């Protein structure tokens, strides 16, 4: 298999998805590098360098910002302390989906006469993990670095910290310091890291976080997963299929509690059928490990205990802002950064500081962060040129979709795909809505997936405005339906107009016709 370049969401990606890198405009001359410094930023002195834009964080979000500011003709440098390509490329989206794809493919095959018998064999865990390693380019970022160089974006490796207005100091791996100054903007795109509960002794247990779950070299015999969100259910799905005995410990009474309730119900059913033990109302009160590498003993409130070889805590994220110099510009270290719709940090005067992606807590999803990066980069370019900023809803420089049309896919069996508001969220917001449900298994195209297709669809219609505000699908293969729903929600397409969008037969997309027929009554 050919080595894959690292993933970023613009240009080639390590995960095998491919974007484009066109339309960036003429190159802007770079500030001269010190003679001893390479394009990878191995600085050995603190000679100051000035750019139009400094981006702290070279994950997909930071790269999208840099792409758009370069397209606007602004000299740009990105600062990265780990791997160029970020969390998504090496420890989150891409390796997790590489682990999950064989699991879902086997589940699909098991539903089909003629393949079901062949699909009963266990997965070859070693080959699945080896393919995962190729998707992460074996945790090397040469391809990503090459992309930055090809579009005239400089890279400084090291830990970047704000030191004042438009100023960043980078402590490089060789002990040097690079001092950067921005003419127009500094963008924080440092993302988040896994949050661990404040539990006595938890550090001594050396628990798995999401990074460990996506990069582990072998399947533990027994894995306890604490949490009920996306990371928890996806990793429970993957490692159960790769040979672990998985126990899922959920504090509440449902999975995926930010999505329609039926989504969590169907996913819980699927996990149980796959062999996962799902325990609701399981509040973890203590954890301890027997020696450095022994079993983990997990104490639950009420006295029950669970033993495992590894324990994954998937209970939330915290902002990666604890040591980036926020105090030098009047902000609290470790805090989320509140922004406006152009991603300007609202608490810092002067309009020079931006925050994009997870770090602003608007929508903790890679694709939304990349979208914010595109919007912010364009806004920075317009402001730098003295051009008007189109900051009206759905304008060219604002991240309106963060409020109205955030899509998400959960890659379990069955899949979950949702965009916009749930029925409960719409009602809590005071909208006058009609909720329309339909059994996805009754759509002709679903029968092609096998004899036991189970799924459900829901659309939430704003009756006053006549368009959709939310759509949820649950079932095999529904992730590929989501963009049609996103277009309908983001575009505020009138329901009467959707009636004329004819779905192909026989495909699962015929669910749109069935939902609209049900809506009309």
Q: Is the peptide bond before 414 cis (omega within 30 degrees of 0)?
A: yes
In this prediction, residue 46 has a pLDDT band, given cuts at 50, 70 and 90, of: low
Residues 182 and 225 in one domain: no
Q: Which helix (H) or strand (E) holds 419?
A: strand 415-420
SS (H, E, C) 258-288: CCCHHHHHHHHHHHHHHCCEEEECCCEEEEE
Residues 245 and 338 in one domain: no
In a domain, 407, yes or no: no
Domain boundary among 253, 279, 314: 314
| Averaged confidence pLDDT in the chain | 91
In a domain, 409, yes or no: no
CB 205 within 8 A of CB 289: yes
Is the pTM higher than 0.95? no
Residues 185 and 252 in one domain: no
Residues 158 and 226 in one domain: no
Q: Which helix (H) or strand (E) holds 203?
A: helix 202-205
End-to-end CA distance of the chain: 52
pLDDT tens digits along 209-264 = 999 999 999 999 999 999 999 999 999 999 999 999 999 999 999 999 999 999 99
CB 405 within 8 A of CB 492: no
CB 12 within 8 A of CB 5: yes
pLDDT tens digits along 352-408 = 999 999 999 999 999 999 999 999 999 999 999 999 999 999 999 999 999 999 999
What CATH number has the domain bearing residue 357? Answer: 3.50.50.60
Judged against a pLDDT cut of 80, whether residue 24 lies above it is answered with: no
> In the predicted model, what is the mean pLDDT of residues 172-199?
96
Domain boundary among 314, 334, 350: 314
In a domain, 109, yes or no: no
Residue 344: phi and psi, rounded to 5, are: -75, 135
Return the CA Rg of the chain: 24
Domain boundary among 339, 367, 401: 401
| Tokens encoding 103 | 């699991």
Residues 365 and 470 in one domain: no
pLDDT tens digits along 249-303 = 999 999 999 999 999 999 999 999 999 999 999 999 999 999 888 999 999 999 9
Residues 354 and 392 in one domain: yes
Rounded distance, CA 441 to CA 452, Å? 8
| Tokens encoding 105 | 């493919």
CB 509 within 8 A of CB 445: yes
Give the residue numbers spanning the domain of 487. 414-520
Number of folded domains that form the chain: 3
Residues 277 and 384 in one domain: no
């Amino acid at each position: 298999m050919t080595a894959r370049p690292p993933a970023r969401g613009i240009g080639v990606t390590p995960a095998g998805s491919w974007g484009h890198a066109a339309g960036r405009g003429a190159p802007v001359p770079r500030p001269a590098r010190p003679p001893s410094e390479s394009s990878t930023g191995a600085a050995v002195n603190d000679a100051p360098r000035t750019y139009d834009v400094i981006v702290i964080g070279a994950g997909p979000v930071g790269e999208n910002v840099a792409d758009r500011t370069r397209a606007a003709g602004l000299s740009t440098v990105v600062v990265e302390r780990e791997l160029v390509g970020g969390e998504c490329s090496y420890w989150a989206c891409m390796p997790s989906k590489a682990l999950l794809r064989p699991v879902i493919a086997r589940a699909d095959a098991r539903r089909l006469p003629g393949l079901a018998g062949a699909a009963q064999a266990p997965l070859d865990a070693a080959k699945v993990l080896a393919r995962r390693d190729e998707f992460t380019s074996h945790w090397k970022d040469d391809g990503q670095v090459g992309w930055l160089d090809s579009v005239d974006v400089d890279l400084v490796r090291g830990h970047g910290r704000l030191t004042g207005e438009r100023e960043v100091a980078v402590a490089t791996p060789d002990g040097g310091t690079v001092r950067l100054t921005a003419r127009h903007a500094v963008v924080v795109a440092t993302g988040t890291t896994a949050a661990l509960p404040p539990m006595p002794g938890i550090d001594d247990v050396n628990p798995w976080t999401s990074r460990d779950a996506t990069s582990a070299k072998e399947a533990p015999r027994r894995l306890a997963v604490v949490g009920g969100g996306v990371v928890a259910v996806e990793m429970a799905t993957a490692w159960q299929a790769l040979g672990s005995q998985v126990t899922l410990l959920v504090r509440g009474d449902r999975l995926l509690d930010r999505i329609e309730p039926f989504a969590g119900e169907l996913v819980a059913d699927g996990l149980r059928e796959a062999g996962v033990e799902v325990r609701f109302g399981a509040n973890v009160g203590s954890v301890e490990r027997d020696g450095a590498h022994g079993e983990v003993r997990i104490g639950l409130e009420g006295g029950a205990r669970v033993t495992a070889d590894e324990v994954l805590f998937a209970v939330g994220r915290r902002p990666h802002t604890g040591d980036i110099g926020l105090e030098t510009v009047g902000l609290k270290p470790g805090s989320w950064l509140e922004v406006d719709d152009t991603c300007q940090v609202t608490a810092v005067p002067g309009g020079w500081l931006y925050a994009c992606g997870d770090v602003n807590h608007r929508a903790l999803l890679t694709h939304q962060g990349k979208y914010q990066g595109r919007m912010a980069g364009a806004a920075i370019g317009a402001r730098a040129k003295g051009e008007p900023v189109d900051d009206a809803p759905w304008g060219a420089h604002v991240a309106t979709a963060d409020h109205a049309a955030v899509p998400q896919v959960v890659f379990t069996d069955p899949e979950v795909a949702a965009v916009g508001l749930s029925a409960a969220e719409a009602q809590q917001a005071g909208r006058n809505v009609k909720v329309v449900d339909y059994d996805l298994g009754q759509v002709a195209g679903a029968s092609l997936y096998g004899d036991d297709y189970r799924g459900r669809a829901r659309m939430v219609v704003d009756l006053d405005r006549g368009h959709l505000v939310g759509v949820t699908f649950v079932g095999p293969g529904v992730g590929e339906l989501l963009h049609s729903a996103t277009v309908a929600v983001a575009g505020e397409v009138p329901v009467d107009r959707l009636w004329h969008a004819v779905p192909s037969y026989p495909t699962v997309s015929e669910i749109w016709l069935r939902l609209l027929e049900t809506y009309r009554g």
